[in-house]
Amino acid sequence: MTIDYDMEKTTAGWKVYDIKIAGISLITTYRSTFAQTIRDGGVEGLIKSLSAKNRQADSGLRSQESGAWPFLFMFAVIPGVSRGGR
């Protein structure tokens, strides 16, 4: 399975802004959901919502006994990465 990512260099480091799995973009897939969350609570509401989902997924990972780990998609600045693009 192919996983691509789009990145942009910022003053704080490289920022991942989209992930494509088997050619399917997370931005395209979640655009309407994110738009509704932004309408309801602004960008700050979207950030809080994503943070809460990441915390929930992280605690779920720690409690799993099987070796199957779900994918976590976190858009964050990645310091120290010296390459760009995909």
Per the structure block, which two tokens stand in for 48? 């809080």
**What does the pLDDT read at residue 17?**
86
Max CA pair span of the chain: 40
> Which amino acid, residue 32?
S
Confidence of residue 62 (pLDDT cuts 50, 70, 90): low
Q: DSSP strand E in the chain: where?
A: 3-10, 13-21, 24-25, 77-78
Q: How far apart are the first and last CA of the chain?
A: 15
Taking the CA atoms of residue 15, residue 75, residue 25 and residue 68 in that order, the dihedral angle to the nearest 10 degrees is 130
- Would you list the domain boundaries of the chain? 3-61
* Model pTM score: 0.48
Q: How far apart are CA 5 and CA 14, in angstroms?
A: 12
Greater model confidence, 63 or 59? 59
